[in-house]
Chain A
Amino acid sequence: MLELQGIAVSPGVAIGKALVFDREGYSLAQCLIAPELAEREWERLGKAIERAHKNLESSREKTTANWGARLGDIFSAQQQLLRDPRILSEMEHLIRDKRYSADYAVSEVFAKYAAAFRRASSSFLAERAGDVHDVERLLLEALSGKPTATIRQLPHEAIVVSHDLTPGETAGFDATKVLGICTEAGGPGGHTAIVARGMEIPAVVGVGNFLHNIRSGDEVIIDGHLGRIIVSPDDATKERYLQRRRARQSIAEQLREIRDLPAVTSDGIRIELMANVEFPHETQACLDRGADGVGLYRTEFLYLGHDSEPTEEEHYQAYLRVVRDMQGRPVVIRTLDLGADKMGMVRPAEPENNPFLGLRSIRLSLRNPALFRIQVRAILRAACAGDCRIMFPMVTTLDELRSARFLLRSVSEDLAAEGVHVPCAVQVGMMVEVPAAVLMLDRFIDEIDFVSIGTNDLTQYTLAVDRSNDAVADLYQACDPAVLRLIQRTHQIVSERGKSTSVCGEMSNNPAHALLLVGMGIRTLSLAPAAIPIIKKAIRSVTIGQCEAMAWRALRLSTAREVEAFLMNQLAGLVPEIVLQA
């Protein structure tokens, strides 16, 4: 049994056989052919290229339909590699003059370029090695006529284990076969993490070098709650996880029964449960779980893992789909929150010493107005199709809010001048994630329509803890009394003006924390679609008085540990049937 710690990026537990994808480990025996067969071998390659080209074309169409043209374009560029005259002439030389088999020639030429790209100092070339590798595999498959195991077409259900995953690989995931994902590289803001969360596949990334310790077929447990992976678990460990899984399944069955019921406390207080989404297709998961709307639509996905900035049309199509799919329910689109751990194409000129205190989020957008305008235009256009609201992240000063609103107004005027129909009033909100914004909220509040508290960043900035830093991660506690006081103050100021506060950080996903927030007066929670049923169950099991009593006591405690212990104890008393999962 081998236990490894990584970064938990998508919750859930997966138990299954590993399928290890090792970039370097994919090699073929050297194989030479008789001279008289060279011509036939060359023709065989030509036919394989045609098949692979068709294969890519169907991948492109499928991906474009499911994930948008930006991911689809990856395949069109790969088609270009397949017909590259230089690659063709090198392969021809190997087959005709050196009597290599077609398979051997393909592997030789593509491996050469992939290796050269990987060695290159520029990161963009290194990333292209993945595309070259994808094309090589496809061509080899077309030659042999039988699929090698690729991530796109898993032969059976498996836990995908790899050094890292290319955007092409994650885009082609077959969600019915990928039980879990574990990679050596990657971080919480990376492509793999985003896709895994979007597809609700348990995932642990950033485990470090371990591929030499695992082989395809080994049994693996991925614990996406604790960021742990266990290779070849012993019987006791496996039994423990199986038990947890059984318990979770029985809870899931109970939860299905309340799917179509509203989130109402037993004494009739309605709590709005909205969903946090990253991909347009997640609207299906939102509707399946009875979400009251989308409380946080993260738009970074449009930027991550792509070679260039998304166009206004790409923004627009993604937003339009979400707004339409939600059928009149509110959709809150958060403008770009790039920077720090989430980097897209826009990068600060210099590496930053403190990226979390650096040029990120709304600061980055305001510094790149051309880019920001494109997104705001798309949001305003999409707003014609339903109840679409705009939210600015990480607002710290009133100047920032005013600059953002100014840009919003001028974009709106531009659109009107161009004759593009825009709704006359789009609700504008801000995220409260910085203590300064809480302290000054009485000045902000008259200039916005709603507030959403991002508890992840608020916790990080209040407690001065970088939670991606192992050395201090234990100090990161969303239930620290300091954070709770800021939430309380925010709600108080906002509700005095008759406006609404929602909470969209990870706190909303935790049943004990969610009940605490409800007790503090919060009536809108925005959470991962997968967490909606359990939070609804918790809410339906309590009275508002019980929540308020819980909040009253919790706010009088002095340390995060006391608060956490108290809340767990309360939850066990109020909603015992879900405590296993909490």
Chain B
Amino acid sequence: MKRIEANLAPNAHAMNPEILQRTVKVLNSEGLHMRPADKLVRAAVGFQSTIELEREGQIADCRSMISLLTLGAMQGCELTLRAQGPDADVAVAAIVQLFESQFNEP
């Protein structure tokens, strides 16, 4: 079974301590396509925190389908997940879980 490669320690230096950061990896064979993006957006809108994904300097708002798709994240791609706000810890856990479970896609 493939496992998520998560950077468990928050990247504290030079960051606002309120921002939680993780590295997530796209495990789905077809990358971050329409359906996973759909699920990410649905998850993200349920939190008060701002949630972003970054790939090679390009930042996507997790509430925006189009910006997630624009990342063009293929399988194996590593993304930096950032969340800031009152429920940032729960949000990060939920998003990490989505990536780990391959968005519940078989």
User: Which A residues touch B74, using CB under 8 A?
Assistant: 122, 124
Q: What 3 A-B pairs are tightest by C-beta distance, nearest first?
A: A86-B64, A308-B105, A77-B34
How many residues on chain B are close to A (CB under 8 Å)? 23
Given A73-B35, A307-B34, answer yes or no on A84-B65 (Cβ-Cβ < 8 Å).
Answer: yes
Contacting pair A345 B72 (CB below 8 A): no
User: Which A residues touch B72, using CB under 8 A?
Assistant: 120-122, 125
The distance in angstroms between the C-alpha atoms of A511 and B37, with both chains bound, is 50
User: Which B residues touch A86, using CB under 8 A?
Assistant: 61, 64, 66-67
Contacting pair B31 A124 (CB below 8 A): yes
Contacting pair B66 A345 (CB below 8 A): no
User: Which A residues touch B37, using CB under 8 A?
Assistant: 77, 80
Determine if B97 is an interface residue (Cβ-Cβ < 8 Å).
no
The distance in angstroms between the C-alpha atoms of A73 and B37, with both chains bound, is 12
Contacting pair B41 A80 (CB below 8 A): yes
Determine if A311 is an interface residue (Cβ-Cβ < 8 Å).
yes
Q: Which of B58-86 contact A (CB under 8 A)?
A: 61, 63-67, 69-70, 72, 74
Residue of A nearest to B64 (CB): A86
Contacting pair B35 A308 (CB below 8 A): yes
Contact count A vs B, C-beta below 8 Å: 71
The distance in angstroms between the C-alpha atoms of A116 and B58, with both chains bound, is 14
Contacting pair B64 A307 (CB below 8 A): no
The distance in angstroms between the C-alpha atoms of A76 and B42, with both chains bound, is 11
Residue of A nearest to B71 (CB): A125
The distance in angstroms between the C-alpha atoms of A308 and B74, with both chains bound, is 13
User: Which A residues touch B41, using CB under 8 A?
Assistant: 80
Determine if B49 is an interface residue (Cβ-Cβ < 8 Å).
no
The distance in angstroms between the C-alpha atoms of A124 and B26, with both chains bound, is 14
Which residues does B use to contact A, with CB under 8 Å?
A: 28-31, 33-38, 41, 61, 63-67, 69-70, 72, 74, 105-106
Which residues does A use to contact B, with CB under 8 Å?
A: 73-74, 76-77, 80-81, 84-87, 113, 116-117, 120-122, 124-125, 128, 131-132, 307-312, 345-347, 371, 374
Contacting pair A87 B34 (CB below 8 A): no
User: Which B residues touch A131, using CB under 8 A?
Assistant: 34
Contacting pair B69 A117 (CB below 8 A): yes
Residue of B nearest to A82 (CB): B65
Residue of B nearest to A312 (CB): B106
Q: How far is the CB of A108 from chain B (nearest CB, A)?
A: 14
Q: How far is the CB of A385 from chain B (nearest CB, A)?
A: 23
User: Which A residues touch B69, using CB under 8 A?
Assistant: 117, 125, 128
Question: Which of the residues B63, B64, B70, B105 comes within 8 Å of A309, measured between beta carbons?
Answer: B105
Contacting pair A307 B30 (CB below 8 A): yes
Contacting pair A345 B30 (CB below 8 A): yes
User: Which A residues touch B67, using CB under 8 A?
Assistant: 84, 86
Residue of A nearest to B35 (CB): A307
User: Which A residues touch B33, using CB under 8 A?
Assistant: 124, 128, 307-308
Contacting pair A84 B66 (CB below 8 A): yes
User: Which A residues touch B63, using CB under 8 A?
Assistant: 85
Given A113-B70, A309-B105, answer yes or no on A77-B31 (Cβ-Cβ < 8 Å).
Answer: no
User: Which B residues touch A74, using CB under 8 A?
Assistant: 34
Chain B CB count within 10 A is highest, among A121, A124, A346, for: A124
Question: Which of the residues A73, A84, A116, A122 comes within 8 Å of B31, measured between beta carbons?
Answer: A122
Given A80-B38, A124-B31, A131-B34, answer yes or no on A87-B66 (Cβ-Cβ < 8 Å).
Answer: yes
The distance in angstroms between the C-alpha atoms of A470 and B102, with both chains bound, is 41
- Can you name 21 A-B pairs with beta carbons within 8 Å? A74-B34, A77-B34, A77-B35, A77-B37, A77-B65, A80-B37, A80-B38, A80-B41, A84-B64, A84-B67, A116-B70, A122-B31, A122-B72, A124-B30, A128-B33, A307-B30, A308-B35, A308-B106, A309-B105, A309-B106, A347-B29
